[in-house]
Structure 1
């Protein structure tokens, strides 16, 4: 009896049980990328030319467990005819929700209030105590008019804000001057690294706040810490960091910053859906001999 050899797949980090079971039904999981036909990579793994070389010439597909692919050398993958896929759409709503969470937490001083209560500071209800601002009526500049940016704009508008979308080719400098909230939703690349630097922070209103749920290096973190300390802008809500998981030490003591540990897609149903997209990409390339719909190379 002839036994069919199942494709070998390496998973760089543990995945949800449902995704693991789906992988094991169709593939043999291996502990290293060497000799694998397919790889499920996390955004914490740098898939560069050396990584692809070490994996071997049999490698046919890398399914990145993220929508961003800045951790992968796409040119190197193309040279080696390795298909790279990502996980679009399924994390749009969750990430947009987190962007709104950061906006509201910052404007309504929720993080600051939480720390205040935990310190057991004395307080009583007062009409002037810990006043914040509403999202309603604010001009929210959405930098990056892709899926997540558009959904963030929709949610902000539902709160009564006025969203303004900034895409490629728009005059970002002029738009920054008018915004009450700046929310970043661009992929990380050579043209967006430090997109928000010291110069652009100085263009913003002193009452404006910055939200980043895209990639940490889109913002010059040192420049942001300085701007917050000096009152150049009023606050920031960050879910991603330039040298993640390290966070600029100068940000940590600031009261006008809300920090979360890369939770944009962190709901169970979202993470499972992302994993199933990876499974589908592996199945398409390794079992069905076709290019998956979510291929980026």
Structure 2
């Protein structure tokens, strides 16, 4: 491939990464850092050789398969790719890549942050203090719970789940159980002293904290529904740093409002960035604006990984993170 391919980067990326892309490619960057419309994405498919989208860019079949498309590679900025129609991309001969591995520690840290904040009711306490409603120390004020010796149930047992388990096991002395499509590698299981459970319902019933670590999409949509919430003990805390649509938010709000669930720490939401007032008002919740990978180091590493995939494609190699 000769010349500099035309690249569209749909959102603002870390400055260092944008500078590197501009050196190597004929790059266009976002002016206002907002999601592109379907019409803009369709035009981009015709006008550029490569698109670098994020989770906010819904590349459905109508966009990916638009007539007159020029795009040869979609180098996604992020590990998740459920916003891209992979079948349509394959049919159009478009390579799709993601950025796996570089988000692990940052996302695990956010999951543990949510666990601690929810268990100790820190979100409620901060809201009370900022509202000027704190009346001073008292013995029974906002009593939370300790994580030490409790059982952490992991839904999924990939890199991020294992990083959370490591922090929980060796940092707080928690017991680890997990549910996944198949048992994890024996070395990982032994290192974390984790116990595999083949039934999701049985696992959540035995867990004091349930942390979600599965991809989004049809296979996992509402995997935590009213039935699964009903299997949890009234003190159980639910943590979600995966994807918003893996939880039935209506059922979750019912459980929180009725006191059938101990609390929830959420970094992702089904309709983000729109969050229902009912969820914002729900008791004992910690709600974060999708901060899982939001460290300078991680966001830069994500950009560099996407750039490496672009370089592989431009130089005639199979991109390292092809899906």
> Do these two structures clear the TM 0.5 threshold for a shared fold by scoring above it?
yes
TM-score, normalization: structure 1? 0.94
The structural deviation recorded for 1:12 is 1.1
Aligned to 1:143: 155
Q: Residue deviations 1:206-244, cap 9 Å, x none?
A: 110100000000001111111111112111000000011
- When residues 55 and 208 of structure 1 are mapped into structure 2, their CA distance, relative to the original with a 3 A threshold, is farther
Provide the rounded CA distance (Å) in 1 between the counterparts of 2:46 and 2:19: 22
Aligned to 1:159: 172
The structural deviation recorded for 1:122 is 4.3
Is 1:192 matched up with 2:204?
no
The answer to whether the 8 Å contact 1:221/1:248 transfers is no
Is 1:106 matched up with 2:134?
no
Q: Residue deviations 1:71-93, cap 9 Å, x none?
A: 00011111122111111111100
Is 1:69 matched up with 2:81?
yes
User: Residue 282 of structure 2 is aligned with which of 254, 276, 282?
Assistant: 254
The answer to whether the 8 Å contact 1:36/1:55 transfers is no
Provide the rounded CA distance (Å) in 2 between the counterparts of 1:204 and 1:250: 21
The structural deviation recorded for 1:195 is 0.4
TM-score, normalization: structure 2? 0.87
The number of equivalent residue pairs is 292
- When residues 257 and 55 of structure 1 are mapped into structure 2, their CA distance, relative to the original with a 3 A threshold, is farther
Aligned to 1:294: 321
> Alpha carbon RMSD of aligned pairs, Å?
1.4
The structural deviation recorded for 1:129 is 2.5
Aligned to 1:216: 244
Aligned to 1:174: 202
Provide the rounded CA distance (Å) in 2 between the counterparts of 1:156 and 1:55: 50
The answer to whether the 8 Å contact 1:7/1:38 transfers is yes
The answer to whether the 8 Å contact 2:6/2:27 transfers is yes
Provide the rounded CA distance (Å) in 2 between the counterparts of 1:213 and 1:56: 38
Aligned to 2:8: 10
> What runs of 5+ residues in structure 2 fail to find an aligned partner?
30-43, 183-197
Which is worse superposed, 26-35 or 269-278? Answer: 26-35
Aligned to 1:46: 58
> What runs of 5+ residues in structure 1 fail to find an aligned partner?
none
DSSP-derived class of the 1:135 partner: coil
The structural deviation recorded for 1:124 is 2.8
The structural deviation recorded for 1:280 is 0.5
